[in-house]
Structure 1
Amino acid sequence: MPKDWLKKIASLLILFHLGTIILMPNFVSTYGRIVGQPFLVYASTFGIAMPWMFFSPDPSVILYFEYELEVSDYGEPLTESEQKTYQWPVEPPDRFYRLDYLRSIYHSRSSTSSPERLEKLLIPFLCKKHPEAKRISVRSVIKTHPLLEQAEIEPTSETVKFLRTRKELPATAFSCNPESFQPHVEPEDSPARAFDLDNMDSISEDDLEQSAE
């Protein structure tokens, strides 16, 4: 008897998951709005709430952070931690389970939409992660896809991800003093402040090259 119940429960879970996969790509349909709420909760929990996530393992434009620590005072020898360049989020070695990494990638988009968000959302986290740091210098790194006419995949390439172009935005230094947390940001007319980072796909290659100069 218990085995029969386990089979029924497992069958219901499988059917529910299949229903989620079928419904979520067209969640805004009339049927989706009527019966989709339980599926939406389930899909959001496991990071499959957006339709394109079924067909793309990574966001179309990857945005992450590289940062360096300032630990020692001016004139003192650099510590081991100051000689490193850190990355957040760190890409996991396990290529199978990447949900947590992808959520962090989405968070990086949100936290860079303005200098105020960067200061309030990311910097306290990094300062807590590196309690020895007095200041942290953070720069955004963007990996963009090539244009279609440039995306001629060589026989040795497996996916178009190997053709992505790396671009860096100017670094911003933040204090880890809890009483200040005042960022040293670029002027209002700086190209680095002119981007709409909530819509990264609208940034052209020329814009990125201009900001890196």
Structure 2
Amino acid sequence: MGKSVSKLSKDDLQSLKQATYFDKRELQQWYKGFLRDCPSGQLSEEEFVKIFKQFFPFGDPSEYCHFLFRVFDADSSKYIDFKEFIITLSITSRGTVEQKLDWTFKLYDYQKRGEVSYQDVLAIISATYKMIGTMVPLSDDEKTPELRADKIFRLLDKDKSCDKLKYEDFKRLSKLDPAILGALSSYDGLI
């Protein structure tokens, strides 16, 4: 699916229907839109950043997009093809809480070690804060990326200087911090 074809093949359509929460009509519409925006059938990281900048005009999404791009680019080809795009969109917009948690863990585990350090958490949170700029009011215990990262480790009774977070910790965190579930369901019903 890396090359531009004006229409999805029956096989591609069938496999994407099985791999996503989209029906045939939705997949065809998304594909047309993807090709309109990416005539080559592939989205580069630079193009990805340009798109995000439209949605976050008061911040700088570049760093966040670098991390996000790595999760979308499942085959590490340095491009996002339609299949990678639509599967991720399906998970983030219509997936189960478990699927969204798994996807979020992959975002934080950008070094693909199966665990996340305090510095990994801080890097993602810092990139997120740079992206949102002043758009979102933050509570006193989350005013800075460091305070937010500290809060995550404190909620999990983890030592930020030596402990690593595993996927199970992310699941536990989603029960301890209501903001996590709120963020995970923020795109529900939009697509």
Q: TM-score range by the shorter chain?
A: 0.3 to 0.5
Name the structure, 1 or 2, with higher relative contact order (CA <8 Å, separation 6+): 2
Q: Which has the higher helix share?
A: 2
Q: What TM-score do you get using the length of structure 1 for normalisation?
A: 0.32
Q: What TM-score do you get using the length of structure 2 for normalisation?
A: 0.34
Task: State the structure with more CA Rg.
Answer: 1
